[in-house]
Structure 1
């Protein structure tokens, strides 16, 4: 009997209150808006278990074209709970890590876009410079600059 093989990860999804703000933030980070639209109806709710739903989504893609971020704004049903202010060690907390060329330049750009540095930019051995930032609505993103690969 053949085992089912994982082919790839298509996307990570984040539910947001303001799709425009989240799209602007991730555009500043370097992702490109691939598409935006509405998903609604009972068929969609059969996937999520929410019943008849209406969601506005924006699909963002990384510069290499391999990774996607799906941003969703639920119109119906209403938001059930809010985890945006949970600390980074909360169970189930979501963080997406992005590789960048110049972490200092990226941090400066995102700070101007309303992001906040969670701790500080640190160096891990002789491999990476890393940091966590909170973007719009408390979305946590990690930035990693590989050292010596310029």
Structure 2
């Protein structure tokens, strides 16, 4: 068992290591990008990666506080479902109006890997191999689809 500080340091170390793998890669549009804190440019639309002691997950997360607006964006993404799954090379889970760790209503399109433990350095290659192609594929998808989501 780790102290809170040790757990925080290990998590930070993982994301730093992951970031180093992706730093040389340019976006689909040939730009430098912060892969870990990816900016979609669309308000309330985020690409989130998470790793804990049980699993890793990557998601498109919709956080609009108005659930009807959130549903509208979710439905817009549904119209792009085939294009998204083709870019990813796999199908993801779709969850309209679920709750996040802060009990806010969010909608998510996501993929998980389990078991995977971010606190076990032996699992880091598995987590990195899970996240890397998917965030790159999300970027490729978003470079084409984002114009449909501009306000």
**Shared topology, TM-score over 0.5?**
no
Per the normalisation by structure 1, the TM-score is: 0.31
Bigger RCO of structures 1 and 2 (CA < 8 A, at least 6 apart): 2
Pair member with larger Rg: 1
Larger helix fraction of residues: 2
Per the normalisation by structure 2, the TM-score is: 0.31
